[in-house]
Amino acid sequence: MMKKLIAGNWKMNGSRTQARALIADIVNNLSQEEAIVEKADILVCPPALYISDVRHALRGYPKIKIGAQDCSSEENGAHTGDLSAQMLEDSECAYVILGHSERRQNHGETNVIVAQKVARALKADLIPIVCIGETQEERDAGRAQEIVLSQLQGSLPDLESFHEVVIAYEPVWAIGTGKTASPQDAQEMHTLIRENLKDLVPKPEKTRILYGGSMKPENAKEILACKNIDGGLIGGASLKADQFLSIARAA
Ligand code: 13P
């Protein structure tokens, strides 16, 4: 069985002081409970400006990985305000979240753009976490599977050789709403994603598929126990060390 990945997406929350306090809290707790990091991979994705603070706090604690929340689809150049995949790698990020629904909605990111970003990330030796998921409207119209599969197919570049890629299924209606997909629904979608990965990546069995959307200590165990659910991408609950780690413990 694949080791589960528990990833915290801090989004645009907190201050430098809060980011430092949160990572210190996570490190303190984990150093008292080493078993968690043996059983699950732990990743934190702070706002880009606080990556260096988090990196300093994690010196001597390499088991917790750092990720960014986006990168540019371009290699470098005149792209004011953007950050390249190489810069993130240079800042000791191991992962980058790409195509999150908030970026698709608020920044007009299409599958084509996401696929370009994924290719950039891989070239810079980052592991992309590619987010896909249907809206409530699409689910109500019975189109959830069709939408998720078209996002999956469209958001991955041609991958001829094996690269680690992570997929995150995040139904948009479950993000920050307190509603989660039922374990049955989530498992069904994850299984469909796994089957379709056969045509898209060289080693589908080695591709982790995370669930995201209102994951919290109370529902984590049930969701993470499902077949083909290889971890979680956690928003709100990743901002509290005790909640985040209790989800990791459930893994
Ligand atoms: P919440 O856990 O706050 O619902 O957010 C999920 C998410 O969007 C993680 O990327």
Instruction: Please check whether residue 75 lies inside any domain of the structure.
Output: no
Q: Which of 102, 109, 138, 170 is catalytic?
A: 170
Q: Is 100 a catalytic residue?
A: yes
Between CA 97 and CA 30 the distance in angstroms is 23
Which residues are paired to 37 by β-bridges?
none
Domain residues for the domain of 208 are 4-70+80-250
How does DSSP assign 75-129, residue by residue? SSSS-TT---HHHHHHTT--EEEES-HHHHHHS---HHHHHHHHHHHHHTT-EEE
pLDDT of residue 240: 98
8 lines ligand 1 (CB under 6 A): no
Instruction: Please check whether residue 62 lies inside any domain of the structure.
Output: yes
CA angle 77, 90, 129 (to 5 degrees): 90
214 lines ligand 1 (CB under 6 A): yes
Query: Ligand 1 test: best mutation among 233, 238, 239, 240, most atoms within 8 Å of CB?
Result: 233
Which residues are paired to 98 by β-bridges?
130
Weakly modelled stretches of the chain, pLDDT under 70: none
Instruction: Please check whether residue 164 lies inside any domain of the structure.
Output: yes
Q: Can you give the CATH number for the domain in which 160 is found?
A: 3.20.20.70
Between CA 157 and CA 201 the distance in angstroms is 9
Report the domain count for the chain.
1
pLDDT of residue 167: 98
Query: Ligand 1 test: best mutation among 10, 209, 215, most atoms within 8 Å of CB?
Result: 215
Residue 178 CA: which ligand 1 atom is closest?
4
pLDDT digits (tens, 9 = 90+) for 181-218: 999 999 999 999 999 999 999 999 999 999 999 999 99
Residue 100 CA: which ligand 1 atom is closest?
10
